[in-house]
Amino acid sequence: MAQGERASVRGLVIVYLALVALLGANLGLSYLPLGIFNPISNLGIAALQAGLIMAVFMGLRWSSPLVRVVAIGGIFFLSFLVVLLLADYLTRGLT
Amino acid sequence: MASPGVEIPFEHFESLEQQHDAAHMGIWLFLATETLLFGAIFTAFGLYHYLYPGAFSPASRSLAWVLEAWNTLVLLSSGFTMALSDHFAAELRRRKVMLFLALTILLGVTFMVLKGVEYHGDYMAGSVPFLPGGWDYAGPDPSHAALFFNFYFLLTGLHATHMVIGICLLTILLVRAILWRSPFGLRRMLVGVGVFWAFIDVVWLFIYSSLYLINRPGG
């Protein structure tokens, strides 16, 4: 984030209201029997909220590309853990 | 109050921007390790949920999801007030920095109190498998349900530990804001703590969605 570049108060208020609205949407969708789309919508909305927080409250929107790379580095390495674990457990019945 | 003057970078930085970027990158590097810590637990939880859905889903539905919906709102609000204090710290507006830091601490403590109420309810309901006299679960497949509650207490407990650390750091920031001896130093610390506090918000959003809401289709 360059010195001086940051969200305005109005921008912060809008993001906060969006986060509260998404929380309401998440709660509302939990009441609907959507089958497989229930976990997808729950985690999808949580990811959307996380993205808003990371971009604005955590300042990634104004960060240098290097900081952004470091920020997604943890998620990138976590994806190895998830993919390799699922590659094991989800294929055990195929032999 | 004396003017804070002009901020100059430490001698090993070429510019304020480079100094700010280095601090920002440092806190994100730390958060990458935190992502791996929480992510590994979430992954194990997801795997066991996949293996034992008959035990995990009813156990999840027994959690106090309405109380924690309010707690999620409290935590989102604390993230907002923290972002505001960071915003006003950049403008060196001491009173507003103090106000929003105090509000953030208040909301953080509120979250912890509500969390304590929830834990007390869990103990009274016999949903604490690791405490003597705390396990009297009436739902299906109690042995695997105990696994669910161990994950639940591990994730929420680890999150609560981060909350306590965050509240302590915020209290230090508030004291520094009251003293106002080094506004630029306060601003540097506030950026790091602000990113840490927002990360705690992010972790909680995934805890709330995956532990409390994901098994609740149709209410």
Residues 23-62 of A with CB under 8 A from B: 23, 26-27, 30-35, 38-39, 42-43, 45-46, 49-50, 53-54, 56-59
What distance in Å separates the CA atoms of residue B22 and residue B16, rounded to the nearest whole number? 10
The tally of CA atoms less than 13 A away on the side-chain side of residue A67 is: 24
Tokens 């309010």 -> residue: B70
Option in A16, A39, A66 nearest B76 (CB): A16
DSSP assignment string, A3-72? TT----HHHHHHHHHHHHHHHHHHHHHHTS--TTHHHHHHHHHHHHHHHHIIIIIS-GGGS-HHHHHHHH
What tokens appear for B170 in the block? 């915020």
More confident residue, A95 or B107: B107
Q: What percent of chain B has pLDDT over 90?
A: 84
- Cβ distance of B80 and A57 shorter than 8 Å: yes
More confident residue, A37 or B169: B169
Distance from CA of B202 to the nearest CA of A (A): 5
B82 in contact with chain A, both atoms CB, cutoff 8 A: yes
What tokens appear for A93 in the block? 């019945």
- Cβ distance of B213 and A26 shorter than 8 Å: yes
Determine the residue of chain B that is closest to A71 in CA distance.
B28
Option in B51, B90, B210 nearest A43 (CB): B210
Instruction: Look up residue A66 and give its amino acid.
Output: L
Determine the residue of chain B that is closest to A72 in CA distance.
B32
Q: What is the 3-state secondary structure (H, E, C) of B68-116?
A: HHHHHHHHHHHHHHHHHHHHHHHCCCHHHHHHHHHHHHHHHHHHHHHHH
Mean pLDDT for chain B overall:
93
Q: Provide mean pLDDT across the span B193-206.
A: 97
pLDDT of B4 above 70:
no
Q: Provide mean pLDDT across the span B47-59.
A: 93
Phi/psi zone of residue B92: left (φ > 0), alpha (ψ -120 to 50 degrees), beta?
A: left
CA-based Rg of chain A, rounded to a whole angstrom? 18
Lowest mean pLDDT among A27-41, B7-21, B24-38: B7-21
Q: Provide mean pLDDT across the span B210-219.
A: 79
pLDDT of B219 above 60:
no
Residues 156-185 of B with CB under 8 A from A: none
What distance in Å separates the CA atoms of residue A53 and residue A41, rounded to the nearest whole number? 18
State the ipTM, two decimals. Answer: 0.92
Q: Residue A5 has what pLDDT?
A: 72
- Cβ distance of B47 and A59 shorter than 8 Å: no
Q: Residue B172 has what pLDDT?
A: 98
Q: Provide mean pLDDT across the span B17-23.
A: 87
pLDDT of B114 above 50:
yes
Q: What is the interface size between A and B, counted as CB pairs within 8 Å? A: 145
Instruction: Look up residue B160 and give its amino acid.
Output: A
Q: Residue A2 has what pLDDT?
A: 47
What distance in Å separates the CA atoms of residue B16 and residue A1, rounded to the nearest whole number? 11
Q: Residue B1 has what pLDDT?
A: 53
Q: Provide mean pLDDT across the span B55-60.
A: 94
pLDDT of B189 above 70:
yes
User: Could you give the residue ranges of the DSSP H alpha helices within chain B?
Assistant: 16-51, 53-61, 65-90, 94-124, 142-179, 183-207
Determine the residue of chain A that is closest to B34 in CA distance.
A74
Lowest mean pLDDT among A78-87, B77-86, B194-203: A78-87
More confident residue, B139 or B170: B170
Contact present, B13 and B22 (Cβ < 8 Å): yes
What tokens appear for A72 in the block? 């997604």
Beta bridge partners of B127: B135
Instruction: Write out pLDDT tens, residues A42-55.
Output: 999 999 999 999 99
What distance in Å separates the CA atoms of residue B144 and residue A82, rounded to the nearest whole number? 22
